[in-house]
Amino acid sequence: MAERLADLLHRTVDDLPIPHPDTPAIAAAGRARRTRRRVGTITAAAVVVAVAGVGTAVVAGLDDGPTRNSHVATQDPADEAYAALGAWAVGEHVVVGDGSADLSPAPHHLAQTSVGLVTQQFGSTGGKPFSLVRPDGTVTPLAIPADAWSVAGDPRGARVAWLEPLVKEGRIHVWDVASDKELATVRVDLPGELPEGSTSGVREVQLDGDFAYVGTGRRTAQRVDWRTGDVKELPFSPVAVHDGVATSMNDDGSSTGWTVVDAATGDVIRDLGRRISTTTLSPDGDHVVVVRSDGDGSVATIEPTAGGTPVELPGFTGMSSWSVGGRVVGQVDGTSTLRRCDVDGRCEDAPIPWIDEENPLVLPADYLMLG
């Protein structure tokens, strides 16, 4: 009965521009406590932050007021399954929680939002390469422009963002996937030193509540309030940003080091070290999966971002992701088994029935695979 009612509700409201929940006080209090705990671990001096200026913003449909990051409780069983089980794809088969859909051609990128999975497909019919797959399996084509080369999702909001790179500047676009409309366009100077007319080295935009981040490999980032157009330059290059925490990779030409950074200030929370293949940040910013290389291969661990005892995740590789509810989801290396683990290292396995010679790998959510 509950599933039929959920199906009916989704079909009824899919095209309605419903305002998102506004819980700024709760979210701000939680972030403040968490930030104090994280910043308390910093032993180095504070990094000096320079203000870069103000960008130009065009914002639409914001009469419902500011919406900050927050965990919004839900009683919908489909949404609960999505939070717990995660989202992923094998070939044309897309799984969102305990719901699924078949898309042709197969998606090459999956971006998680609070209302479901945004998929991107090369060579899609009808000129609409992006779709929203809800936890009940409903598929809604999105009007996101086809020239958006990649979108980043906000696991705590019904939004995605992308960067339109131009000569020496760019435009950040923010799109509401529930109402299928653009919320804002913000012009920003592209940070770093790029050759004239080049966008080489510009990272994928990151979306975290009211803020979008765009950076280069030159240890700089722009933190943009997409509602107001305010821009701040920060001394790090973000790889991922969730709930005010960022991971950053610094390539000094000889070796690569990773850090966890306060995304609002640029203060280093923790140095993760070197010989790291990849990192994956949890939606609440409290934990990070780190894949380190050693002489015998790679070892994946889950660690508190502020420091603590790492917990090994056997069988995981860099191709894994977090569910919006905070579990690590990925294919056990070289098998047809899907593994889900919580932050304490408790894991459960499930078979993947669609693995075959043509589709041997699981594509995890939020894993950028181009080409």
| Reduced 3-state DSSP string for the chain | CHHHHHHHHHHHHCCCCCCCCCCHHHHHHHHHHHHHHHHCCCCCCCCCCCCCEECEEEECCCCCCCCCCCCCCCCCHHHHHHHHHCEEEECCEEEECCEEEECCCCCCEEEEECCEEEEECCCCHHHCCEEEECCCCCEEECCCCCCCCCCEECCCCCEEEEEEECCCEEEEEEEECCCCEEEEEEEEECCCCCCCCCCCCCCCCEEECCEEEEECCCCCEEEEECCCCEEEEECCCEEEEECCEEEEEEECCCCEEEEEEECCCCCEEEEEEECEEEEEECCCCCEEEEEEEECCEEEEEEEECCCCCCEECCCCCCCEEECCCCCEEEECCCCCEEEEECCCCCEEEEECCCCCCCCCCCEECCCCCCC
The average pLDDT across 50-61 equals: 52
Residue bearing the bigger pLDDT, 80 or 296: 80
Map out the domains of the chain as residue ranges.
2-275
Q: What is the pTM (predicted TM-score) of this model?
A: 0.79
Q: Does the structure show a pLDDT above 90 at 6?
A: no
2-275 is a CATH 2.30.230 domain: no
Predicted local distance difference test score (pLDDT) of residue 56: 60
Each residue of 70-126: pLDDT tens digit? 344 444 778 999 999 999 999 999 999 999 999 999 999 999 999 999 999 987 666
